[in-house]
Structure 1
Amino acid sequence: MATFVLVHGGGHGGWCYQKVARRLRAAGREVHCPTLTGLGERAHLLNADIDLDTHIQDVVALMTFEGLEDVILVGHSYGGMVITGVADRVAERIRELVYLDAAHPRGGESLEILAPAQMEPTRAMGRTVDGIELVMWPFPGMAGFFGITDPADVAWTEARLTPHPWKCFGQPLRLENGDAAFRLPRTNINCTHALQNSPDEARARQLEGHRNFEIDTGHDLMITEPEAVATMLLEVAG
């Protein structure tokens, strides 16, 4: 039976998948929701060396030390960068990749390159603290940026968001094993707004999968539409 590994996006943590994970576990599935180094409950580990490679290694190490095989590896937003790198390193452990309204990088591309319209203002609003350039500083109303409108969800999310090291967004994806990551089956779960407003090339990548789902909701679909996301993930698992 497939195991789910759910990777969060920028400024978030494994906590953001609580609603989805609860539903997947109720269906009898094993679920891991790692928090990437320097974020969420691991914010105390923040340091100047954290970059995309660090976060790829976080997930590779989880899968290796837990002995996970037949993994459905899910990435939200920036998490699409991470899971593509993980798939490059340990393709043999992965059954399928699932991109949740996520980045779809190729080798040599960074999130800064893929989404300049979002990343340029994000960096402009950053701050450097103890020699670490940090972006996505939480502010009141930030949950709205992620498409969250329910007051309870807004309060819950904003209490947990943390700043994110810029190096993660600026570092290009480094592939070590050719096209290994791109030979794996992949599913896309896109938000309608993202599809409608993406440039043509980005939209083509958002639909470049063996399966494509669409949900008319905000960017943090695992919080706003957990039932729909969990149902789609269970369909992927079979």
Structure 2
Amino acid sequence: MTTFILVSGVFTGPHVWDGTAARLTSAGAEVRAVALTGLGGAGPSVGTEADLETHIADVVAVIDSVGQGAGGQIVLVGHDYGIHPVVGAADRRAEAVARIVYLDSGLPQDGVPALAAVPDPGVRDEVLRAAAEGTPGTGSVLPAPGRDGWQLWGSTADVPDAALDRLTALASPQPLATLLQPLRLTGAAAALPMAGVLCAGNGASIAMVQAQVNLGEPGLQPLTDPRVTFFELPTGHWPMLSGTTALAVTLLKAAAGEGHRLTPVDAARPAPHLRPFLLDMPEVPCERTDTMDLYLPQDVHGPRPAVVFVHGGPVPPGARPTPRDWPTLTGYARYAADHGVVGVTLDHRLHALTDYERAADDVADTVRRVRADPRVDADRVALWFFSGSGPLTADWLAKPPAWLRCLAADYPIMAPLPNWGRFDSRFHPADAVTGAGSLPLVLVRAGLEANEIAATVEEFLAAARRCGANIEVVDVPDGHHGFETIDRTDASRDAVHRAMGTLLRHLTA
């Protein structure tokens, strides 16, 4: 028989698992929902003294109380913050644990506190300020959120109103030390099978994880181990409240070793973003500087218009090749050069969600350098953004300079996803587009886009239409995110030609 040990996240207690536990029990499993010290009514008088080690000990105690019956297995399930005491306990009782399930959570690392996984930068700052002040009483805990504050910890999509009311009513302040104390691991649990349950409504998906693996993120390469499986639920961050039955079924499958397995990076078979561009473009002269490449038209004299292609992200700093050498970027740059326009690719520093400001600085600096080049017509420049660089369009939409002749975006993320936390208002294109005026805009929309990304595009388009923006939408009905190297179809090729044709007309008019 399988015993599920369920550990909830910040501010919460065993009550969040009531529905899931009932369904697991009816399926023949044993269930233990852990009461972490100081949370969910488990000893509030000592709650402010609890730290991460306290909560690890709570989980270890439950593991020890279960033991390992003949033919039985223990499956640890950690949601949100709960994955930190789960991994800590598994490290101390690796011989007793059959599997760890990461439920819409991060990947805890040795020496890293749980605070690093908190999605909202404002909350992280609040915790650090409270810790620095060292105020007794309320200063040693993070107050539980009000009913409307749970969104800062993850999407509440699909959670019934009554369940959200109960979640709020039973919430407890979170002891700061549980978030600030570094997790200490010996590595004993590293070999345990694991399953990741991702909540698409919170902005996470198997495709996104696979894409990050493909980019060479070192910390994610172990996720391609055959003992690691993945599941995806079409709901927000609280599936135990919004999709109880689906979560129970998923946990049973995870315990049985089922699920999707990621594809390892294989040098013999390029990752999707490194496959050839869908159009055969001629070689053109390329001039490389530190972070920027210029693809130059041949046999063309005098200053020429230019288009700067801005890659998406976040991209790990160690990714090789770097984005300016990715086939999509080089393919578009050669296309531009073949039509008498200088194509520009660059590497900017969008390595994490907190890097948008410095990435914006990099793009602005590249544009200044391009316009200063005597081979470029400084009054005729276009910008083309891809994927996760979508938020960077806001700066240019809000107050377009006279020399910006067109702005394009392919399958962009045009608003923060739910698991991004609060996001700098500077990088909200739907707000900025009201200042775009007559600037020509081209948006290439992938028909098979992830729902969460597609929603940000629709939000932006609705705002653009309300303010009468000059926007052309190019649809690729059967196209995926990154279709230029994935979908070698006539429809995809037509979309590239149409988008490039519009941009080139505005540049050369």
| TM superposition score normalised by structure 1 | 0.87
CA spacing shift, 1:14–1:140, aligned 2, 3 Å: same
Match of 1:211 among 222, 229, 254: 229
* 3-state DSSP of counterpart to 1:41: coil
CA spacing shift, 1:187–1:136, aligned 2, 3 Å: farther
Residue matched to 1:3: 3
Contact 1:76 1:99 in 2 (8 A): yes
Contact 1:87 1:181 in 2 (8 A): yes
Is 1:137 equivalent to 2:147 in the alignment? Answer: no
Is 1:15 equivalent to 2:15 in the alignment? Answer: yes
Residue matched to 1:157: 167
5+ unaligned residues in a row in structure 1: which ranges? none
Residue matched to 1:232: 250
Match of 2:82 among 76, 79, 99: 79
Is 1:98 equivalent to 2:122 in the alignment? Answer: no
* 3-state DSSP of counterpart to 2:197: strand
1:207 Cα deviation after fit: 5.6
2:128 and 2:111 map into 1 onto residues whose CA distance is 23
1:27 and 1:45 map into 2 onto residues whose CA distance is 37
1:185 Cα deviation after fit: 0.1
* 3-state DSSP of counterpart to 1:71: strand
* 3-state DSSP of counterpart to 2:42: helix
1:41 and 1:68 map into 2 onto residues whose CA distance is 28
Is 1:168 equivalent to 2:186 in the alignment? Answer: no
2:120 and 2:145 map into 1 onto residues whose CA distance is 19
Is 1:187 equivalent to 2:187 in the alignment? Answer: no
1:223 and 1:112 map into 2 onto residues whose CA distance is 24
**Alpha-carbon RMSD:** 2.8
Matched pairs, number: 236
Contact 2:147 2:164 in 1 (8 A): no
Contact 2:11 2:173 in 1 (8 A): yes
1:121 Cα deviation after fit: 4.4
Q: Which amino acid aligns with 2:148?
A: G
Contact 1:126 1:136 in 2 (8 A): no
Contact 1:75 1:99 in 2 (8 A): yes
Residue matched to 1:30: 30
1:180 and 1:64 map into 2 onto residues whose CA distance is 17
CA deviations on 1:169-202 (whole Å, 9 max, x unpaired) are 1111112xx3211100000001113426999559
1:234 Cα deviation after fit: 1.0
Larger radius of gyration: 2
* 3-state DSSP of counterpart to 2:248: helix
1:78 Cα deviation after fit: 0.5
CA deviations on 1:19-61 (whole Å, 9 max, x unpaired) are 1001001111110001100011214243443111000000101
Contact 1:186 1:210 in 2 (8 A): yes
CA spacing shift, 1:19–1:159, aligned 2, 3 Å: same
5+ unaligned residues in a row in structure 2: which ranges? 257-509
Contact 2:7 2:86 in 1 (8 A): yes
CA spacing shift, 1:203–1:125, aligned 2, 3 Å: same
1:79 and 1:137 map into 2 onto residues whose CA distance is 16
CA deviations on 1:43-95 (whole Å, 9 max, x unpaired) are 42434431110000001012213435620000000011111101100011101
